[in-house]
Structure 1
């Protein structure tokens, strides 16, 4: 298993305008996070069946990408970082 590392940086001074922009920016991020969650849930279920039947994992990259996106989005949404996550995951 690969180690998970996350570095969060932010400035102490916060802008009110930036906060208002974040509120608008959260809308597409929440929609994309929801879609990623649905895809990850489907892949998770297919993985359960695949492991039971074939003994192999299937398309685990989708779950990994979803987890990475949640971490970036969560840090931004909780005001822990000023770095905006991309709307569409990499």
Structure 2
């Protein structure tokens, strides 16, 4: 398991400039995916209201958007130089409770 928001001291200057263009492309993909996920959330609201249960397909699409968003955050927030894929790839995010 890999921690996605981990401090890295080393940072590449060239990667900083590549990040600008790369983040713009990722932003376009994220915007389109977010728009589709927003429509799915709207539809999911009515599915729950009418049927009293969630649609697995809609839920999976919304979950995929949220996982993609969290997956690209470290790169777009200057936390790491490791580039994520432009298109969404399967990522699983876990929450660990510290006692």
Please, what TM-score do these two structures have when normalized by structure 1? Answer: 0.85
Aligned-residue CA RMSD in angstroms? 1.7
Query: How many residues get paired?
Result: 86
Once the two structures are superposed, residues 23-74 of structure 1 have per-residue CA deviations (whole angstroms, 9 ceiling, x without a partner) of 1111110000001110110010101000000112122011111111111222
Q: Using the alignment, how far apart are the partners of 1:78 and 1:11 within structure 2?
A: 12
Q: Using the alignment, how far apart are the partners of 1:68 and 1:81 within structure 2?
A: 17
CA distance 1:49–1:6, change in 2 (3 Å): farther
Partner of 2:22: 25
CA distance 1:42–1:74, change in 2 (3 Å): same
Q: Using the alignment, how far apart are the partners of 2:75 and 2:59 within structure 1?
A: 25
Residues 10 and 82 in structure 1, CA contact (< 8 A), matched pair in contact too: no
Q: Which runs of 5+ in 1 are unaligned?
A: none
Q: Which runs of 5+ in 2 are unaligned?
A: 90-99
Q: Using the alignment, how far apart are the partners of 1:80 and 1:14 within structure 2?
A: 9
Residues 11 and 81 in structure 2, CA contact (< 8 A), matched pair in contact too: no
Residues 76 and 85 in structure 1, CA contact (< 8 A), matched pair in contact too: yes
Matches within 5 A, 1:1-90: 7-8=3-4, 9=6, 11-58=8-55, 59-90=58-89
